[in-house]
Chains A and B, each alone.
Chain A
Amino acid sequence: MANKIKIESSIENLNPALRFIKEFSIINGLPENKTIEFTTAVDEILSNVILHGYKEEKGEVHIEIYADVSKILVKIHEYGEPFDIEKHKYNPEKAKNGNFEGAGLKIAKELTDNFLFLNLGNEGKEFQLEKKLPRKHITEIYKPEKIKKEEPTGVSFQLGIVAEDDAEDIAKLIYRAYGYTYAKTELYYPEKIKEALRKGEKFGVIVKTKEGEAVGYFAVLRSTDSNIGEVGEVVVSPNYRGKGLMKLMMNALIELAKSKGLLGLFGEAVTVHTISQKVNAKYGFKSTALIIGMFPYIEYKGFKVKQPRISVVIDFLHLVKREKVEVYLPNNYKNIIKEIYENMGIKVINKKFKKLQLPERSKVETIVDFEKKFSLMIIRKYGKDIFEKIKSRYENLKNKGIECIMIDIPLDNPYTKKIVPQLNEIGFFFSGIMPLFHKEKDYLRMQNINLEFKPEWIHVYSDMAQKLKKFVFKDMKKWQKL
């Protein structure tokens, strides 16, 4: 959960806000020297916003600070005058003559691991500053040869709920099973696993031999925006595959998720092969979306077709029965959306469009993963400026080198019928449905990707996923602007 502070754009408020950023960073594990760097970077941006954002007037500055197991992120949002970051480039030669223009931005960029500026038109400006939390990789704790030699030999197993003390065993298990190729790289860092378990960001089951050696692990990552979770981390020790461990763990995990009151589980199954999709289908998960090129390419053992990025199928399992949904379906996607719902056993009522009085300002949240080069915009509230806002953010993100740009659109709002054709015009195409994904509500996902993909690279298993693939490729061909 993000912590939010709202301050008046007055220079007296600078240091109290900075002290909070500093304390928050230290509490969340950022070392002292990195904390100073990060606080200085925030100081530069916040000073700039306070001193120049509103010129002579006073205005509000919104600060959000958030930490997960990998990073600390600060978002600074103000509603002042437009600003073109490109026109404020620092020049050391000019500085020697006393012109320090752009110095603050230069320092903020250099002292953070990721820096993003979003020009939001009449919604002001947003800066995102990110600092990575240093953690030790399992191979820095133990020599790789030693981990590999530790392959367990026991013959009988027992299943238990994952505890913080299991963190190191899990990291070793991942390393033994996948070498360096596991996509969720945080699992190579015992401290990150421990922290996520401690904070309740994930829960899971672990299978150990009688001798206490970990041979299987399966976890759910809780969504921070809805009461659902992702079956996102799974590993079985190479010598223990084909012994029914997956079945044992999946059944236990579903029961555990139910007992914690989760409404649903989802999987992001890669399409380089269909193994994970088959497992999901076996346990009642239904395919609801196909996202083209969501993750950067990594090589999967035995699957060597090089492609620009990895695509995923979203498989969803409702843990609480839903009989019907009443949604506003955009015309060009209504049939496929109905099919997706019906495949989940849910009756769909497509509500008629009704005229809306939109407020002036819309609210769109933007989440960016710089390392994986994807971003997700979530429409939180429609306003008159919605299209312009999305368009300007899309252009900003594209210019920052973000390759896969996704947008989640609420299906319970009539305006969704209007916005979809507009998004098509700037290259967004259909991905599918994200059930209960934000605040326990269903969203339509669309995406934009400026890379070429071939259907033969994408392997899907379920009938619904086959239909999705056909539809997505047709829609991508129609709207994609390469």
Chain B
Amino acid sequence: MAKIIKPEWAFNSYYVSIIKNQLKDETEVVFDLSDCEIVDSEAIKLIFQLKKEGKRVEVKDPPEIYKKILKILQINV
């Protein structure tokens, strides 16, 4: 079963520092960003790394800023 991660307000360095270790053994992660207003590069980096490790990652209801950041960084995660 997928591990569901639902950050409140900000999916950023602070949140990443809390959850990073909890995801080590997961094979499937869903990031539910429906309550999120802020997403930063540390969050994008985490999603990218999880995918690179071969985990199945889904990003649900991302806020506008998420798409904007991906555009700025010219990457697709």
Q: Which residues of A are in contact with B by a Cβ distance under 8 Å? A: 11-12, 14-15, 18-19, 22, 33, 36-37, 39-40, 43-44, 47, 50-51, 90, 92, 95-96, 98, 100, 103-104, 106-107, 110-111
A-B pairs with lowest CB-CB distance, top 8: A47-B13, A92-B74, A103-B41, A14-B14, A110-B72, A100-B45, A43-B40, A104-B41
Q: Assess whether A107 is in contact with B72, with CB atoms less than 8 Å apart.
A: yes
Q: Assess whether B12 is in contact with A14, with CB atoms less than 8 Å apart.
A: yes
Which of B25-33, B54-62, B63-71 contacts the other chain?
A: B63-71
CB contacts (< 8 Å) of A100 on chain B: these are 41, 44-45, 48, 73
On chain B, the number of residues with a Cβ less than 8 Å from chain A's Cβ atoms is 26
CB contacts (< 8 Å) of A107 on chain B: these are 40-41, 69, 72-73
CB contacts (< 8 Å) of B68 on chain A: these are 37, 111
Also in contact, A36 and B75, with CB within 8 A (given A98-B48, A103-B45): no
Chain A: interface secondary structure?
helix
Distance in angstroms between the alpha carbons of A47 and B13 in the assembled complex: 6
Mask: chain B, 19-38; 1 = CB below 8 Å from A; 0 = not? 00000000000000000011
Q: Which residues of B are in contact with A by a Cβ distance under 8 Å? A: 9-10, 12-14, 17, 37-42, 44-45, 48-49, 52, 63-65, 68-69, 72-75
Q: Assess whether A43 is in contact with B74, with CB atoms less than 8 Å apart.
A: no
A and B contact pairs by CB, cutoff 8 A, 18 listed:
A11-B13, A11-B14, A12-B14, A15-B9, A15-B12, A15-B14, A18-B12, A19-B9, A36-B38, A40-B69, A43-B10, A44-B40, A44-B41, A50-B13, A51-B13, A95-B75, A103-B41, A111-B68
CB contacts (< 8 Å) of A98 on chain B: these are 48-49, 52
| Contacting residue for B10 out of A18, A90, A92, A103, CB 8 A | A18
CB contacts (< 8 Å) of B63 on chain A: these are 36
**CB-nearest residue of chain B to A97:** B52
**CB-nearest residue of chain A to B48:** A98
Q: Assess whether B14 is in contact with A96, with CB atoms less than 8 Å apart.
A: no
**B13 to nearest A CB, angstroms?**
4
**A164 to nearest B CB, angstroms?**
32
> A51-B13, A98-B52 given. 20 additional CB < 8 A pairs?
A15-B14, A18-B12, A19-B9, A22-B37, A36-B37, A36-B65, A39-B37, A39-B38, A40-B39, A43-B10, A43-B13, A43-B38, A47-B14, A47-B40, A50-B13, A90-B73, A92-B74, A95-B75, A100-B48, A100-B73
CB contacts (< 8 Å) of B17 on chain A: these are 11
CB contacts (< 8 Å) of B10 on chain A: these are 15, 18, 43
Distance in angstroms between the alpha carbons of A98 and B41 in the assembled complex: 12
CB contacts (< 8 Å) of A40 on chain B: these are 38-40, 65, 69
Distance in angstroms between the alpha carbons of A105 and B55 in the assembled complex: 28
Distance in angstroms between the alpha carbons of A104 and B43 in the assembled complex: 11
**A47 to nearest B CB, angstroms?**
4
**CB-nearest residue of chain A to B63:** A36
Q: Assess whether A47 is in contact with B42, with CB atoms less than 8 Å apart.
A: yes
CB contacts (< 8 Å) of B38 on chain A: these are 18, 36, 39-40, 43
Distance in angstroms between the alpha carbons of A369 and B13 in the assembled complex: 31
CB contacts (< 8 Å) of A19 on chain B: these are 9
Distance in angstroms between the alpha carbons of A440 and B39 in the assembled complex: 45
**B74 to nearest A CB, angstroms?**
4
CB contacts (< 8 Å) of B65 on chain A: these are 36-37, 40
**CB-nearest residue of chain A to B13:** A47
**A48 to nearest B CB, angstroms?**
9
**A374 to nearest B CB, angstroms?**
29
Distance in angstroms between the alpha carbons of A19 and B14 in the assembled complex: 13
Q: Assess whether A95 is in contact with B14, with CB atoms less than 8 Å apart.
A: no
Distance in angstroms between the alpha carbons of A80 and B69 in the assembled complex: 27
CB contacts (< 8 Å) of A33 on chain B: these are 64
Query: Which of A12, A40, A44, A100 has the most B CB atoms < 10 Å from its CB?
Result: A40
